[in-house]
Structure 1
Amino acid sequence: MKLPSAARYIWAVLLFIFTVWILLLSFPKKQHQLSITHEFGIGFDLSPSYATVAVSYPNGSIQSIARVEGNQSYREMMLRLSLLSSQHLHQPYQDVGEAIRDSARRTVRNTRKELGLPSSRDVGILSNMINDLRDQASISVGEPISAAAISIPHLVALYGEDLHDAFEYLSLVYLEFFPFSNFRPIHASIAAYAGNGLGLCEDYRDIATCEEEELHIPPQFALSVSYTHTSLTTSQAHISNAYYLEETPTLEDLRLGYDSRHEESYWEAVRDALQYPVVNSPVRRNISMVLLFGDTTERPRFREVLEQVIDPVLGRDLDIIDQQPEFSAAIGTAELAKRAIFRQLKESNTATEL
């Protein structure tokens, strides 16, 4: 029985699309040979409603560069990525089974890349924000930016692979800090810790001494708090050097920012969120510091509520670490970027000499 002409036409179109798709996947991917062209470090930090960028120069000078406001698409994406329902399989995989189950999603992403598109809608939104940050940095330093590092809030569905793909789409070198854990992102807590001058060796140019010094930085527990106009995130952070961080438990509320302060029982909810990582921890930890970052952490009413938590819940006076809270995560990321660039350039020069 012959198919109607309309059906044959539809099948022909589908076959053509499928053939083109297969051909696209079969072509070797263009490998862009990206290189690092500067010794200073550029650090981006993504907050739930805005982003910041800073630069760290080899001479020790560190500068905050700019703040870029997130548009509606960016804010909606960050809110969605804070929800447990947004989680999905992602790189790095825990086993081969996860890789197999995630192959269909990866195929779609790779197809979009072959077509010159961001690998997903979220990657497109991230790319727009990162590109704006890069432009601000380039204007500030007076030359193109070829490499950067980025820190992110501890959201349950914001994954390192999306950051990698956004940098790749922008032809920007993504600086790695965890060579044995690909796609592991830098979270804002550790970036802000480094941005306050903590967890790092004194002279990063002496690599051997630096590694030894950072290896012996004593571990400690911190109550990490990010507070902005739109969000409040808290965690119990186990920190030693600026390349090590474990956060648990965490609370992410992207509706509990300072702009919601006129809602009923708002400050009670803030108090509950601040003490959540402590009272819900299965093990009582000896917390020795409070790490604050975000653009509203200096608000007097917030500080009053924080003090109400520190004394009765933590039971002791703690160090408050809060230098330049709006930019501290970007500053720390820029410092880490500078050190990563130094090592990569040194290794590259050594390999060339050999």
Structure 2
Amino acid sequence: MIISNLISIILWALHVSTVVGDGIPKDPRRNPRREPLPLCKTCIPWEQITAPGVGIHLSIGYGLAAVKLDDGSFIDVAKVDANPEYLSFMRQKAKEVPEDPGRDYTWREILQIRLQAIKRRYRKLMGQPGTPEAGSIADLIKSLLVETELELGLNNPLTGVALSVPFLPDRVPIVEYLEDAAEYLGIKILRSANLFAPLREFGSAYAAMGFGLCEHYRDYEECEFEDTNLTHKDVLGVSFNDASVSVYCGRNRNARYSIAYEGVQEPSLGHNSLQAGNSKAYWKEIKDLIVSVGKVQLLECRWRPEVMLIMGDAVDAVTEDLTRTVREALQELFPGDTHLPLGDVQVAFPEKDKNHYLYLPARGTAEFARRFQGQPFGCVESLECRANRPGANKTDANIKGQILVQGGH
């Protein structure tokens, strides 16, 4: 009798281990999680799933807005130049030295932090952005929202967008400024349950190229499994803008984050600093910047770029010079290697359109927005949710049977 009961308990435990949430069958071999995901409390509205995904990319000197539609196409909405306060703030963040998260703060520093928090709350109570810097970000986002609403012909203001930021050093605080700006504007920053940092320009550009994305994003668990099985790619990225130049050398798998990377944002080398008579010296500095970042990455791992991400508002004006400079940098990093697939910018972008270089990160951000809208937030939707949507076969015996089992009827 005891043995029989023990066997029953073991069989019951095995059955539970193959169920997600409240009774949805799963294959344990395909589940990388230690614990099953909970069942979502509500269903995602179909209107939200099919709504356009709005992505806003904040660069050092400007902002971009793009939209991903339900039919898979993109709309490049607008570029808006930033005001001087925003530009000064972003340049400061680009050169800011990250603090050691483990260091001890003095009582004066703690007092200063608390006073800043009080001032931030007071500004919000007065109907202002938490900080002047957040206000400059809000101004840029607001201008892009207005352009997007006009483009889409919306009667009501947008309430949720995905945001991406330029490449900045790790641990440089930027999140609270974005959140304060969004709070002031009354919008929600879209994200997924496993996105723990702001989207960055090179990750968004990687997504816009079709890399690092799961196929079944509306199934959180399946997407999570697909993410763990994506093939990593070594990436060289150059964001070439009037106000700044950033270089990225990384190993990417999921478009949201990198496995290993090195990068730098250099406002002093923006295209605006290129003057008549110093062209040769300028492009040598750009080449040396790419080489220096690449050498550090080579020390970290056996990095050999197979994907190139070129973007920025100044690329079209200097495509030939930039192509030559990138090629020379690669030749210095990999002398004698004739098999690198990056000999020409056109190789990386065989289907390049006129807005490709400028809107690449904004398109990727819009891609994420579309996915975040239609993906459950860290849970699994019930079978009723899936069966009651347009196009679902409600009379399908298999689905109907699973619903009855799940509901216990």
TM-score normalised to structure 1 length: 0.79
Distance 1:246 1:75, change over 3 A: farther
What is the CA–CA distance in structure 2 between the aligned matches of 1:349 and 1:106, rounded to whole Å?
39
Which of 263, 287, 296 is 1:280 aligned to?
296
| CA displacement, residues 28-80 of structure 1 (integer Å, 9 cap, x when unaligned) | xxxxxxx9985221000011111111111222122111111112222222212
Q: Percent identity?
A: 24
Contact kept? 2:313, 2:358, Cα under 8 Å: yes
Residue 68 of structure 2 corresponds to residue 56 of structure 1 = yes
Distance 1:347 1:40, change over 3 A: farther
Contact kept? 2:83, 2:136, Cα under 8 Å: no
Contact kept? 1:225, 1:235, Cα under 8 Å: yes
Q: Is the partner of 1:273 in helix, strand or coil?
A: helix
Number of the residue aligned with 1:266: 282
Number of the residue aligned with 1:293: 311
**Structure 1 residue 178, shift from structure 2 partner:** 5.0
**Structure 1 residue 207, shift from structure 2 partner:** 4.2
Which of 253, 266, 269 is 1:256 aligned to?
269
Matches within 5 A, 1:203-352: 203-246=216-259, 248-262=261-275, 264=278, 265-281=281-297, 282-287=299-304, 288-298=306-316, 299-314=319-334, 315=337, 316-319=339-342, 321-322=348-349, 323=352, 324-344=356-376
What is the CA–CA distance in structure 2 between the aligned matches of 1:186 and 1:306, rounded to whole Å?
25
Residue 173 of structure 2 corresponds to residue 150 of structure 1 = no
Q: How many aligned positions are there?
A: 314
Residue 96 of structure 2 corresponds to residue 107 of structure 1 = no
Unaligned runs of 5+ in 1: 1-34
Which of 117, 124, 135 is 2:128 aligned to?
117
**Structure 1 residue 349, shift from structure 2 partner:** 8.0
Number of the residue aligned with 1:175: 190
What is the CA–CA distance in structure 2 between the aligned matches of 1:105 and 1:113, rounded to whole Å?
12
**Structure 1 residue 197, shift from structure 2 partner:** 1.4
Asked which structure has the greater CA Rg, the reply is 2
What is the CA–CA distance in structure 2 between the aligned matches of 1:96 and 1:348, rounded to whole Å?
42
What is the CA–CA distance in structure 2 between the aligned matches of 1:244 and 1:158, rounded to whole Å?
17
Distance 1:50 1:221, change over 3 A: same
Matches within 5 A, 1:134-149: 134-143=145-154, 144-149=157-162
Name the amino acid aligned to 2:212: G
Q: Is the partner of 2:123 in helix, strand or coil?
A: helix
What is the CA–CA distance in structure 2 between the aligned matches of 1:325 and 1:158, rounded to whole Å?
28
Contact kept? 2:291, 2:332, Cα under 8 Å: no
Contact kept? 1:221, 1:285, Cα under 8 Å: no
What is the CA–CA distance in structure 1 between the aligned matches of 2:377 and 2:265, rounded to whole Å?
38
**Structure 1 residue 153, shift from structure 2 partner:** 0.7
What is the CA–CA distance in structure 1 between the aligned matches of 2:383 and 2:179, rounded to whole Å?
26
What is the CA–CA distance in structure 1 between the aligned matches of 2:247 and 2:99, rounded to whole Å?
23
Contact kept? 1:235, 1:247, Cα under 8 Å: no
Q: Is the partner of 1:44 in helix, strand or coil?
A: strand
Which of 127, 130, 149 is 2:141 aligned to?
130
Number of the residue aligned with 1:24: none
TM-score normalised to structure 2 length: 0.69
What is the CA–CA distance in structure 1 between the aligned matches of 2:261 and 2:330, rounded to whole Å?
18
Distance 1:166 1:344, change over 3 A: farther
**Aligned-residue RMSD, C-alpha:** 3.2
Name the amino acid aligned to 1:176: R
What is the CA–CA distance in structure 1 between the aligned matches of 2:180 and 2:384, rounded to whole Å?
29
What is the CA–CA distance in structure 2 between the aligned matches of 1:202 and 1:351, rounded to whole Å?
19
**Structure 1 residue 283, shift from structure 2 partner:** 2.5
Number of the residue aligned with 2:39: none
Unaligned runs of 5+ in 2: 1-43, 386-406
Contact kept? 2:193, 2:377, Cα under 8 Å: no
Distance 1:84 1:97, change over 3 A: closer
**Structure 1 residue 110, shift from structure 2 partner:** 1.6
